[in-house]
Amino acid sequence: MAALLLFVSVSKKCVKCKEAPAALVIRAGDAYCRLCFKDFFIHKFKAVLGKNRIIFPGEKVLLAVSGGPSSCSMLRQVQEGLSQKANKKLRFVPGVAFIDEGAAIGQSVEERQRTVAELQAVFQATGFPFYILPLEQVLDLPASVVATNPSPSEQPASAYKAAVHHFVETDGSNFPRPQEPKKTLLPRVQESHTLMLQQLLGSVKTLTAREELLNTLRQHLLVHTARTEGYSKLMLGDSCTRLAVKLLTSISLGRGAQLAQDTGFSDSRYGDIILVRPMRDYSAKEVAYYNHLFTVPYVVIPSVDTKTVDKASIQRLTESFVTKLQTDFPSTVSTIYRTSEKLQTACRKRSGADGCDRCLLCLCSLDTAVEAASAFQATLISDQLSGSKCLRGSAAETPRPEPGRPESPPLTAQCCSSAEGRGCGRAGSDGGCCSSAKLPETTRLKSLLCYSCALTVRDMSTVNHLPQYILSEAQRRQRRSQMREEISDFLLDDGDEGN
Amino acid sequence: MAASIAIHLEFGGGAELLFNGVKKHHVTLPSQSEPWDMKQLLVWIQRNLLKERPELFVQGDSVRPGILVLINDADWELMVSTGKLCLLSECVCVCVCVCV
């Protein structure tokens, strides 16, 4: 029986071809028919890569696929783009990376294997080499991940054109061929590692901080994989909608200084690996519709905030806010997106050649060295004042730890860290608040972090569960800055550190 | 008096998590005096298919913001203008959770 649909409405025509009946409304009222939509979708992907001229022909690019609709759509676009005729063909060599975060959401081993098997089938069908990375691997990363590499020399715009010209002339024969995907066995995960990871995530008290931490660890793992497997670019599948939510969330989390890097098209904080976001022009609705129409396979994997209430975390609340606003005002997401396009990072060339002026976790420039009359100083002072009350008070005044939280009362960690290491860390006595040796570590760690990462760490009951590479890099930086302080009088500096 | 109609329902993008993970449903809507429309369909889904957390699927008379509804591969938003939307037999209604 033919599918019939009777609807009582003015049947709209596509705004592009003006002939076919419209099938989808995108942005604020533009109705497209199916074919025009498909052309529009495919064209946008190539246009965004071509306009930004950042991916050189023959370059190895790692696609970070979470299994969700946006990243799977990106995978499909790359596949299509590489298979077309010569002149408009995409010209890079892709690989796929998937991070199995089953441990973070408490999935059983069987559930994880099932999901991974589903995705493996999808990846194998593309023919690209792929890497299945259990999140537990983050515990074994080397410290080099958080040490910034010197950035590659800035290529002038003319270099891109020359490279394309060269590629077309030699017919691409000099460039690395896409590799045959090796038979990758699904990596085995040790249960002890899973437990350690769960312990780490369990030590974070708020969902907001947990999501931020997961984000950071995920990025570190992806960058490390890109480095070890020889990729120079990392493509992330964040859609316009997601980036709009991320922009507002970042502001709420105190990441205002890093907005341009967090939401822009390219992000060069890691130096040798550049993060690229080609899906940032696509709204989530466009992606969903394309995936449905052209049966793009994707696997929905629950995350830590799936099915939570709106107020469970800042990220969730912002997402709910933007989504609801978008229903009544369809230009919400695009307005936020256009604003984000205007943001740029102010490049502050500091003398920290050994990476000392970068946040330990997010690798963005530290934003905590500001003048005396700033808002940041005001928050420090108010922290100190509330902290000093706790210092004077006896242990009886510290509130009871929440039921269900075993060990150290969180507030003592608060008061020590809030004094920014000036008080408790050096007090040396064990009465009052420094009840465990762990506390000064939190304090010292915070001085290496940007404002929002410090807030994330503050929501952790202990930093000792952080992966070894973070703790050891923290120690290394602390030793260096201590050493630098000790010999500062003898250093010949370039003049910006005073006399 | 309209006869009962059989329609295909599909849930995707995470919406299926509210329906025990089942994506495709082939259901028969009981006959009633007036033709079925979307609002009634949503109420029917909430009563008969939805397994948990109705507030994550339905909000008031419509779906929660962040869920894309396609009827025979066309955006529901295009059809919501004057009057009621009438569902006929063998319609395919797809609800995809779009929010990030």
Instruction: Pick the closest to residue A3 from B98, B89, B12, B39 (CA basis).
Output: B89
Last residue of a domain, one of A308, A341, A374: A341
Instruction: State the maximum Cα–Cα separation within chain A, in Å, rounded to a whole number.
Output: 88
In a domain, A238, yes or no: yes
Among A68-82, A121-135, A157-171, the minimum mean pLDDT is found in A157-171
Q: Using CA coordinates, name the residue in chain B closest to A315.
A: B100
Chain A residues lying within 8 Å of B96, measured CB to CB = 288, 292
Q: CATH number of the domain that A263 lies in?
A: 3.40.50.620
Residues A14 and A58 in one domain: no
Q: Do A249 and A108 share a structural domain?
A: yes
Count of A-B CB contacts under 8 Å: 103
Name the phi and psi angles at B27, rounded to 5.
-120, 160
Of A39 and A173, which is predicted with more confidence? Answer: A39
Residues of chain A contacting residue B13, judged by C-beta atoms under 8 Å apart = 69, 288, 300
Burial of A365 by CB count in 10 Å (0-12 exposed, 13-18 middle, 19+ buried)? buried
Q: How far apart are CA A439 and CA A421, in angstroms?
A: 10
Q: In whole angstroms, what is the distance from residue A268 CA to residue A274 CA?
A: 5
For residue A372, which amino acid is it? A
Chain B residues closer than 8 Å to A244 by CB: none
For residue B25, give how far its alpha carbon lies from the nearest alpha carbon of chain A (Å): 16
- Give a yes or no: residue A494 inside a domain: no
**Residue A277 domain-assigned (yes or no):** yes
Here the ipTM equals 0.91
B39 pLDDT more than 50: yes
The pLDDT mean for chain A works out to: 79
Residue A319 exposed, middle or buried by CB count within 10 Å (0-12, 13-18, 19+): buried
Is A363 a member of any domain? no
| Residue A346 lies inside a defined structural domain of this protein | no
Give the integer Cα–Cα distance in Å for A151 and A184. Answer: 32
pLDDT band at A178 (very low <50, low <70, confident <90, very high): low
Count the Cβ atoms, other than its own, within 10 Å of residue A378. 11
Q: Helix/strand/coil (H, E, C) string of A431-486? A: CCCCCCCCHHHHHHHHCCCCHHHHHHHHCECCCCCCCHHHHHHHHHHHHHHHHHHH
d(CA A175, CA A274): 20
- In Å, how far is A408's CA from the nearest CA of chain B? 36
Position A206 in a domain: yes
Is 70 exceeded by the pLDDT of residue A419? no
In a domain, A24, yes or no: yes
Tell whether A51 and A27 lie within a shared domain.
no
Residue type, position A305, single letter? D
- Region A20-36: what's the mean pLDDT? 85
How many domains does chain A fold into? 2
Res A389: pLDDT: 45
Give which of A95, A144, A162 is closest to A270, Cα–Cα: A144
Residues A18 and A108 in one domain: no
Chain A stretch 224-283, residues whose beta carbon is closer than 8 A to a beta carbon of chain B: 239, 241-242, 245
The reply to whether A91 and A27 lie within a common domain is: no
Q: Which residue of A has its CA nearest to B16?
A: A300
Q: Are residues A128 and A3 in the same domain?
A: no
Instruction: For residues A255 and A120, state if they share a domain.
Output: yes
- Could you read off the pLDDT of A184-227 as tens digits, one per residue? 556 777 888 999 999 999 999 999 999 999 999 999 999 999 99
Domains and CATH numbers, chain B: 5-96 (3.10.20.30)
How does pLDDT run across A336-382, given as a tens digit for each residue? 988 888 887 665 554 444 445 788 898 888 877 666 667 777 777 77
- Cα(A210)–Cα(A215) distance, integer angstroms: 9
Average confidence (pLDDT) over B28-32: 86
Instruction: Report in angstroms the alpha-carbon separations of A370 from A373, A374, A376, A477.
Output: 8, 7, 8, 20
Taking the CA of residue B74 and the nearest CA in chain A, the distance in Å comes to 4
Q: Rounded mean pLDDT of B27-36?
A: 84
> Residue B98: its pLDDT value, please?
77
A19 and A96 both lie in a single domain: no
Examine the domain organization and report whether A10 and A114 are in the same domain. no
Q: Positive or negative, the Cα torsion across A68, A70, A75, A79?
A: positive
Specify whether A22 is located in the same domain as A118. Answer: no
Q: What element of type H or E holds A133? A: strand A130-134
Residue A206 in contact with residue A459, Cβ under 8 Å?
A: yes
Segment (H or E) for A30: strand A30-32
Q: What residues make up the domain containing A4?
A: 1-32
